[in-house]
Every structure is written in C-alpha cells, then in structure tokens.
Chains A and B, each alone.
Chain A
Amino acid sequence: MSPRTRPIPIITDDALTITGGAFSYGSTPALTEVNITVKPGEAMALIGPNGSGKSTLLKGVLGLIPLLEGSMGFGKSAESIGYLPQTEHIDPEFPVTLKQVVMMGRYRKMGLFSFPTSTDRAAVRKAIANVGLTNVANKRFGSLSGGQQQRGFLARALASEPGLLLLDEPFNGLDQPNRDALMQTLRQLKAAGVAIIVTTHDLELAREVCDTVLFVNGRQIAFGPKDDVLTLANLQEVFHEFQVEIDEHTVVVPGHEGH
C-alpha cells in the first residue's frame, strides 16, 4: 500500500511541467489553462488577486485537489516537494515542540522502524537555524508567535530537502529582517538547484528573486520570463478591478500590499 497521494508522475528534465492544466475543488474548475515549466534552480512568482487560484495551483501540484484536465510532469528532483501553506489550522495546545514539527519534514525519508538518524537531526537543526529560530527550538510550537510559527513551517519544508519548493505567501507577516533572510534563503536554494514556486502580491519581490512570472485570474493570463511578463498591460488584465499605479521603479497594486 503506497501512502502517496500524487498521481503517477511523468518524469521530465524540468522540475515541473503543466500542460493545459485545470484544477477544481468540486466539479467547476477554480483554475484553468495552465501551461508552465519550472526548471531546477529557477523560481517562479505566482501572482493574481484574491481568489484567483494561486493556492489552488499549489494544492493541485501537491495532489491535494484533482487535476481535471491536462497533464502534469515532474522531474526526478521534484520527487520530494516542500510546501508552506498559506494558513495552517493547528491546535495551539498540541503537545509538540518546534523541533518535532520540523522533524515531520523528515518523516518521508525515514524507514518504518528507524529512529531519526544524525543526518535527520542535522537537517532539522540546519533548517531551524536557517529561519533564525534556534533559541526557541525546544518550545511548544503553539506557544510561538504567528510569524515564528510560519517560519517554523518554512523550516519544516526546508528540512525535507525538497527539489521543488512551493511557498504560499511566505513573506506575509514577516518583519523586515526575516523578509531579507528569506530572500537570502531562496537565493541559496536556487543556487543549489531547487525549483521554487512562490505566490505573492509583492511585485518588487517577484522582480528581485524570481526568474519567471505566472499571472492568474481563474485562468492563466500570462507566463514567461519576468521581464516579458511584468508589463502594464498584463497587470491591468490581471488586476482589472484595481487601479494600477506605475512609476519609474515600482509597480504598486493598491489593496494588496497588506494581504
């Protein structure tokens, strides 16, 4: 009995390829016409307004919701997928420490009867250090602040040493030093060959760490290298109900900075 939920992967050289993809919760699709490729060492920014299907795409890639149409192919490196959900519903009284939560990221790598090895423990320690939480590693997870919990879940995703990393609004609720640290982490992961998909409302951030951009709004609006796709025309199509202001350096999408 295989505990995997993902569909049988089509092996490709790219970390992830989706062709004509449509994803749904019930019978009506929440996101359609997805045609993307993410290569190892590349980061893709996934941008769209609230309810446009960003989280849906990540859940679809994970196999949490079904692929209604089209096909999905995974590279060999994407056998291990790390995931940072947008929101986590956890019991704040649940008796686990941060360290134990991050260790969950290693579970799939452990044998049925084996205890965590020194490799597992080292990976956990490193991931916790990476998100700057070493001093609270042995605290109960529920006693940490919201931002700390989010970084804890990021550490769990990192500890799984993923070939494909899916981050749903990872910069939300992070203070400036932690934003900078996360940017730095993402650059390091890319250099190590990890493929990354990151949803964000922050176009500046997309420009800074990402190589490609996918705009969605119920369907794919545009996909390609960031310089080709981050255009005023695309922004207006995606965020049509919003006024898009553009100046020399930044593109601001009103109503979305704080989300």
Chain B
Amino acid sequence: MNLLDSLTTAFALPFMGRALLVLIVLSVAAGVIGVFINLRGLEFLSDGLTHAVFPGLAAGFVFGGQGGVLIGALVAAAAATIVLTLMSNNRVTSDATTAIVLTAMFSIGVIIVSASPGRAGGLEQLLFGHLLTVTDSEAITTAVVAGVALVLVLLTFRRQVFRAFDPEGSAAAGYRRVSTELVLNVAIALVIVAASNAVGNLLVLAVLIVPGALSRLVTTKLGGLFAVAVGAAVFASWMGLALGFNISVVGGVDVPAGATVALSFVTLYAIALIVRVLRKGVNA
C-alpha cells in the first residue's frame, strides 16, 4: 500500500472510516469554537480546562474502564467550567494561581492512573488517545458530545460575536454577559471532552486552538474565519490520519494516530504562517 492509498482507499477500512468520521465532527465543532477562542483570547482558559478535565478522565478510566472516561471527563469539565467562568468574571485569582491549580489537577490525574495497577497502558491512552481503535459506541458518543458543543455555539452565535467584539455594548443591548460566557466555556469543555476521547488529552489543544489561529492568518472576513477554520481542520485531520495509518499500520511502527493528527494541524499552521510572512512581511 503506498502513500496515495493511505490518503484514499485506506478510509474504506472500517476503523479508518470511523476515525475519520469522529475527526470530521470534531473538526467542525472545534473549527467554529476555535474561532471564538481566538477572538476572545481564551487560549489560556482552554488550556486550563484541558488540564482540569484530565483527573476526570483518569478517575473515570480507573473506576469505569473505557466507558467511564466520558462520564468522568464530563463531571470534571462541568465543575471546571463553572469555577473558571466565575473566576474570570470576578477576577478573584491571577493567571499564576490558575496555572498552579490546573497543573496540580493534571498531576493528580497522572497519579490516579499510575497508581492503579490493573490499568496498564491507560496513561498513554488517556494522553494520546486511541484514534484507530475507537469502538462504534465511542465514536457515537464523541460525535454527540461535539455536536452538542456546536449546537450551543450556533444557537448563541450572534451574541457570541457581539460579546467578543464589544462586551459592554452587548451587555447594554441586553445580552447577559455571564450566561454568554458560560455557554461558550461549556462548549469549549465539551469539545475538550470529545477530543480527549479521540486524540488524547495532551493533543486536544492542537485541535482546539490551531484552526482558529490559522484562520486569522488567512482572512480578515468574519464569515471567512469560520469557513477557513473548519476547512483547515477537516483537511489536517484527513492528512494526519492518513499519515498515522501509513506509519503504524503500513510501516508497523506503533505511533498513536492522535499524534500525527496533532502534528498535521501544527504543520498546516506553520505553512499558513510562512505563506503570510512571505507575502506581507513579519509585522503585517
């Protein structure tokens, strides 16, 4: 099987088709939500949520196996979202405290998994996902969770744009600030949960942040941002998955496909950045 086959016919294999389907749903949700993350400058909060979700994933995995991961992650995400939303609204803590607390959460997750002997290999799976071995039911739950996130943002699309551009103006227009922010944060958390399941907790940020950041390099049109982000995410998923397939299935080297997908996202971003610099100069 050559590289071209990896990009095309390989996806006829059931596990590859499943992986691609999961990634496409994730890409659409993460593309749209990632644009808002970029416009609002919520990269740090997203990073925080990702860390905070980890102990939930870990506890769910240890106590409930693969089926418990989603529930654990959802519980942790709900708690973290509420805490982080309230914290950012009341400015009760600094970025430093937040970073310390979240790193602690991440360590707790690592300890939980490592300390449970019956779950060998669990840590790696939680960190890097198991894209090529997702089951049908995992694919469905991932798609549903990402779909809910997307619907939340689409239902509040205008107020999210308004809030991102002009917080005071949107509040003056009668849009409740906290609820607008909470909806977006919940959507971000849901994408993190869905993506953690597929590409692993450590690689979630690439899927979540790269498409939005990339779209800002390519266009200054609001509608264009969403189209570019979603398009780039789908394309990068396809490339990354094909690469992962080529290395691990064809080449026989055990590399998690989540890592090649993340690498593909980052590479696409690097290309967009280089093209932009070449066209407009460093400061443009």
Contacts and interface: CB of A to CB of B under 8 A. Distances in A.
Contacts of A232: none
A85 B169 contact: yes
A93 to B, nearest CB: 8
Interface residues of A, number: 31
B222 A96 contact: yes
A64 B175 CA distance: 10
Contact of B172 (A85, A94, A101): A85
A174 interface: no
Contacts of A6: 174
Nearest to A90: B166
A72 to B, nearest CB: 15
Interface in A93-136: 94-97, 100-101, 104-105, 107-108, 110, 112
A243 to B, nearest CB: 35
Contacts of A4: 174, 176
B276 interface: no
A94 B165 contact: yes
B176 A5 contact: yes
B222 A104 contact: no
B162 interface: yes
Contact of A104 (B155, B166, B171, B176): B166
B170 to A, nearest CB: 8
Interface in B150-182: 155, 158-159, 161-162, 164-166, 168-177, 179-180
B97 interface: no
A26 interface: no
Contact of A64 (B39, B164, B168): B168
A3 B179 contact: yes
B159 A95 contact: no
A88 B175 contact: no
Of A91, A95, A108, most buried by chain B (CB within 10 Å of CB) is A95
Contact of A95 (B169, B170, B222): B222
Nearest to B41: A91
Contacts of B91: none
A157 to B, nearest CB: 9
Contacts of B171: 5, 62, 64
A83 B179 contact: no
A190 interface: no
B28 to A, nearest CB: 18
A63 B177 CA distance: 12
Given A3-B179, A110-B158, A100 B222 contact: yes
A160 B170 CA distance: 13
Contact of B220 (A62, A64, A81, A95): A95
Of B162, B174, B221, B222, most buried by chain A (CB within 10 Å of CB) is B174
A246 interface: no
A65 B171 CA distance: 11
A104 B220 contact: no
B203 to A, nearest CB: 27
Contacts of A226: none
Interface in A1-47: 1, 3-6
Interface in B119-133: none
Nearest to B220: A95
A3 B172 contact: no
Nearest to A153: B169
A98 B154 CA distance: 23
Nearest to A58: B172
Given A94-B165, A95-B221, A108 B173 contact: yes
A83 B169 contact: yes
A112 B156 CA distance: 8
Contacts of B59: none
Nearest to B39: A94
B162 A104 contact: yes
A140 interface: yes
B271 to A, nearest CB: 21
Contacts of A89: 168
Contacts of A81: 172
A85 B164 contact: no
11 contacts: A3-B175, A5-B177, A81-B172, A85-B168, A88-B166, A88-B169, A95-B39, A95-B221, A100-B222, A104-B169, A140-B220
Interface of B: 39, 155, 158-159, 161-162, 164-166, 168-177, 179-180, 216, 219-222, 225
Given A85-B169, A96-B165, 8 more contacts: A4-B174, A5-B171, A94-B39, A94-B164, A95-B39, A95-B221, A100-B222, A108-B173
